[in-house]
Amino acid sequence: MKKTVIAPGQGTIESDVIDEPQISLAVATHHDTHTHVEINGLVYPEGDVREQTRQMLGLVEKILEDLEGSMHDIVKFRWFVREDVLDDETRGTIHEVRSDFIDYPHYPASCMVGVASHNVEGALVELEVRATIPTDGEWTVERLPATNNQ
């Protein structure tokens, strides 16, 4: 099996033992029927929530295109939003920007988690992404209505 490591050792770290972080921005594993992609810890510490979200999603789009995929291959978003800015307006802004990148019916599963702070000064939002890129480039999308578990 093949693994593609994207931006290994990116960033700086204070250590007397190692020169760079022991992580990668993203990792893709290649399988016969698909490529599985995990993108972790994206931040863009400049601008407001709208600008940060737009820049991060633009980077996600570039990574997926480099792997012969698209934004429609995203199956999960996990947003970490600073608690002092996490409100209905912020959620709405993130959804508005996402709508510029992802079309119905390809909406991924998603959650937003409030956090006290981020490791990067100025970061209001951090993003993790999981994507599955079909080898043949084709998706069959089935839509199930929400269910009421009463």
- Give the integer Cα–Cα distance in Å for 51 and 71: 18
Cβ neighbours of 115 (radius 10 Å): 15
pLDDT tens-digit readout, 37-59: 999 989 999 999 999 999 999 99
- What mean pLDDT comes out for the span 78-87? 95
Q: Is the pLDDT higher at 18 or at 91?
A: 91
85/93 Cα distance (integer angstroms) = 11
Total count of residues recorded for the chain: 150
Mean of per-residue pLDDT scores for the chain: 90
pLDDT value for 24: 79
The CATH number of 2-134 is 3.30.1330.40
Query: How high is the pLDDT of residue 20?
Result: 66
pLDDT mean over 18-32 = 82
Contact between 76 and 108 under an 8 Å Cβ cutoff? The reply is yes
Confidence of residue 12 (pLDDT cuts 50, 70, 90): low
pTM of the model: 0.89
